[in-house]
Structure 1
Amino acid sequence: MASHSKSLWRSLFLVALCTVSLQALAARDDEADDEMDEVTPEELQMQEIPVDERIFVEAWNEVPYKKSYFTYNDQQIRDKWDYLMRGLKVPYPSADYMSVQFEKYPFMKEGIENWDGDYKELEKRFVAVWRLFFAGDFKKAREEGLKLGPMGEIPALFSQLMYAIYLAERQSIKYMMLQDVANRAQDYFDVMKEAEEDPEVAPIVASVKLGYAYAIARIAEESPVPIVVARRYIGKIKNSAEEVVAIMPDQPLAHAFRAGVDAGIMRRVGKFTGRMTYGARTTTVEESFDDALKLAPDIPIVNYEYANALIYMNRKRDLNEAISYLETAMKIRPEFSMDALDVMYSYKRLQEVRLYALNFRSFRKFEKLRRKFSKKTDRNLTSVLSDPLSMDMLNNPENYVLPERK
């Protein structure tokens, strides 16, 4: 027991040293107050967020639009498939496609419930799950997708990602859902490895890996630096981003994610430390977003993430350009749930950017107050169901605390 205690505190001491170094170096890039975010030894020791399974049986919030807007019949889904999948490039789950790939890669049919080998029937089941996802019926899409093996994990986990980021009221629930996505996706890494270089199956592999990386990136972006360091988030996210691009170079969201990762590193530790310690470069951000926009210029999330990246790298210097990308995202007409929620969040993010521009000299101070508010209140600031952040919220978080969950 004494040996374990010494090991624990030695680890915490090393994390603290590393964190102090990161904060000191980051100060070269920003004039902000460098006071540390408060974290407990228990938080630093925790490598994964515990997931309370009740969050999957409780009622989920509904999307803030009529699902009928994006509820398509089978033929419409087939006709619109290439457009709806312009970001992920996931192949249409036809009976012919599955019959060929399942023979090559038996792992792809593992975990499919109540299936007797009829691929035509299986195609209908897959289309039904994707219909739920496109419409925004995320809870049901998750439940049905998890019954369809590795290919079903994609609409299931992306439904969970969309709900966690944009519809969960609580930050704690958002984090648990994101951790669960990462856990489930990671379970497939070993069995999928043999298919990484097969162009017919690479989009499936890349999308599962992207779901994993995106989930932990969304946790990391709002976590205190000591936790980011202790859980080794940056290395995990950056390595995953590079892997996804290598596996699927034609996937726009992969390029946008890689760009966002480097910009996010600069956001947390500054340009100097980001470049010297983690290899994060502005050229990577610019080139990767350029690639993403060439492949698919009309994806809302690519535009609003580019806006975020400009602010993370250059603070107020490129603020007008960042705002123009947010406005572009807001003007894109959505044709399914993911784009619709991204468009809605672009508007909310624009209000936050204006709040920062009008009231703060220091970007780091704004970011720290934002994290402090979320931790104090347990409010998910990326939810499109809640009001945009305000100065009253930042100055008086105690007035916005959510009641404890029962």
Structure 2
Amino acid sequence: MTAWLPCPYAADYRFDGERVRAQWSALHAVDDEPPPDSDALLQAWVLFHSGQFEQATHAGLALGIDGLSVANRATAAYAALVEPHEPTRIELFRRVHARACAHAAQRPQQPSAWYWQGDALARYANGIHVARALAQGLGTQVRAALEATLALDPNHAYAHVALATFQASVIDKVGPLVGAMTYGAHAAAVHRHLDHAQRLAPDSPAVLHECANALLLLEGEARLAEATRLLEHAAQLTARDAVERLWVELARARLTL
């Protein structure tokens, strides 16, 4: 695999350990990640929030199981927001999923292990097309991993959004009846998870953007005004780190299409 492309906004966000610790609660409202318990882990998160995704991934992996959360979040952020080639994105999400499965096997009480397992598999499924992924039985795995995340940590905003988005994708592809009977996907549950995510992280451009996506998948034109409102909110936010800046710019680009 070729070297990763740089984050275009890395130069605008210069973090150090002290600044990351001071802003930890705000920076991690989306994933409810506990503060790092070592300087080495803290420095890996410094790299992540500064937009140095490849370096953050390597730093996290160097720490073994203790660094898998930051390594997986950095890889997923790069794949979703920077990498332009779909085959490379799919491969990166496959790697995140494999690492997260190993993480969950060793530390089953750690929510991030289950979250990255479910989220990466859901994004992999989107990459190979949801209908094909459902035929391979991936839908059940996605749902189980994300529900395990929320059972361990009901305040994991990203997990609420990911579960809602995947259920909306299922309903979009197979319809509400088959979605409900075969995959446990319900429109009411989609809305509950989206509402909960927005309560947990109301000023997260990532959450707002993905909530807009889920609404459009689920109900299309009927929710266009609400989805547009969410994107407009995301586009107007002041990003707290390089990752949020990527989400803000993505929302702005969506609004100009």
Aligned match of 2:55: 140
Aligned match of 1:306: 211
Aligned match of 1:180: 95
Identify which of 161, 171, 188 aligns with 2:86: 171
Amino acid corresponding to residue 6 of structure 2 in structure 1: E
Describe the SS at the equivalent of 1:214.
helix
Deviations 1:81-111 (A, max 9, x none): 11111111111113xxxxxxxxxxxxxxxxx
Amino acid corresponding to residue 70 of structure 1 in structure 2: Y
Which structure 2 residues correspond to residues 92-241 of structure 1 after superposition, within 5 A?
Answer: 92-94=35-37, 123-193=38-108, 196=109, 205-241=110-146
In 1, are the aligned partners of 2:107 and 2:113 still within 8 Å (CA)? no
Aligned match of 1:297: 202
**Which structure has greater helix proportion?**
2
In 1, are the aligned partners of 2:47 and 2:55 still within 8 Å (CA)? yes
Aligned match of 1:18: none
Aligned match of 2:164: 259
Amino acid corresponding to residue 56 of structure 2 in structure 1: A
Aligned residues: 257
CA deviation after TM superposition for structure 1 residue 161, in Å:
0.6
Structure 1 residues without counterparts, runs of 5 or longer:
1-54, 95-122, 197-204, 355-406
1:62 matched to 2:6? The reply is: yes
CA distance in 2, matches of 1:226, 1:312: 14
CA deviation after TM superposition for structure 1 residue 261, in Å:
2.0
CA distance in 1, matches of 2:6, 2:22: 27
CA deviation after TM superposition for structure 1 residue 75, in Å:
1.6
In 2, are the aligned partners of 1:71 and 1:132 still within 8 Å (CA)? no
Aligned match of 1:82: 25
In 2, are the aligned partners of 1:271 and 1:313 still within 8 Å (CA)? no
In 1, are the aligned partners of 2:111 and 2:152 still within 8 Å (CA)? yes
1:282 matched to 2:204? The reply is: no
Deviates more, 1:133-142 or 1:85-94: 85-94
In 1, are the aligned partners of 2:111 and 2:153 still within 8 Å (CA)? yes
In 2, are the aligned partners of 1:213 and 1:241 still within 8 Å (CA)? yes
Describe the SS at the equivalent of 2:57.
helix
CA deviation after TM superposition for structure 1 residue 225, in Å:
4.8
Describe the SS at the equivalent of 1:188.
helix
Amino acid corresponding to residue 322 of structure 1 in structure 2: A
TM-score, structure 2 as length reference = 0.94
Deviations 1:357-402 (A, max 9, x none): xxxxxxxxxxxxxxxxxxxxxxxxxxxxxxxxxxxxxxxxxxxxxx
CA deviation after TM superposition for structure 1 residue 243, in Å:
0.9
Amino acid corresponding to residue 91 of structure 1 in structure 2: P
Higher relative contact order (CA 8 A, sep 6+): 1
Aligned match of 1:328: 233
- RMSD between superposed Cα atoms in Å: 1.6
In 2, are the aligned partners of 1:241 and 1:261 still within 8 Å (CA)? no
% identity of equivalent residues: 28
Deviates more, 1:148-157 or 1:339-348: 339-348
Alpha-carbon distance change, 224 to 324 in structure 1, aligned in 2, over 3 angstroms = same
Aligned match of 1:119: none
